[in-house]
A and B are shown apart, each in its own frame.
Chain A
Amino acid sequence: DGGITQSPKYLFRKEGQNVTLSCEQNLNHDAMYWYRQDPGQGLRLIYYSQIVNDFQKGDIAEGYSVSREKKESFPLTVTSAQKNPTAFYLCASNPSSLRDSHNEQFFGPGTRLTVL
Chain B
Amino acid sequence: SQQGEEDPQALSIQEGENATMNCSYKTSINNLQWYRQNSGRGLVHLILIRSNEREKHSGRLRVTLDTSKKSSSLLITASRAADTASYFCATDGRPNSGYSTLTFGKGTMLLVSP
In angstroms, Cα B92 to Cα A101, docked, is 11
Q: Is B22 an interface residue (CB 8 A)?
A: no
CB atoms of B99 and A42 under 8 A apart: no
In angstroms, Cα B88 to Cα A104, docked, is 13
The tally of CB-CB contacts under 8 A between chains A and B is 77
Which residues of A are found within 8 Å of B93, using beta-carbon distances?
A: 45
- Known A107-B43, A110-B42; contact A40-B98, beta-carbon cutoff 8 A: no
CB atoms of A90 and B42 under 8 A apart: yes
Q: Is B101 an interface residue (CB 8 A)?
A: yes
Q: Is B31 an interface residue (CB 8 A)?
A: yes
Q: Is A58 an interface residue (CB 8 A)?
A: yes
- In whole Å, how far is B16's beta carbon from the nearest beta carbon of chain A? 27
Residue-wise interface mask of A (38-71) relative to B, using a CB-CB cutoff of 8 A (1 in contact, 0 not): 0011111100101000001011000000000000
Q: Is A113 an interface residue (CB 8 A)?
A: no
CB atoms of B100 and A99 under 8 A apart: yes
- Residue among B30, B42, B50, B94 having the largest count of chain A Cβ atoms under 10 Å: B42
CB atoms of B41 and A56 under 8 A apart: no
Could you jot down 17 A-B contacts, CB within 8 Å?
Answer: A4-B42, A31-B100, A41-B106, A42-B88, A42-B105, A42-B106, A45-B101, A50-B99, A59-B1, A92-B42, A92-B43, A99-B94, A99-B100, A101-B100, A105-B33, A105-B90, A107-B44
Residues of A within 8 A of B (CB): 4, 31, 33, 35, 40-45, 48, 50, 56, 58-59, 88, 90, 92, 94, 96-110, 112
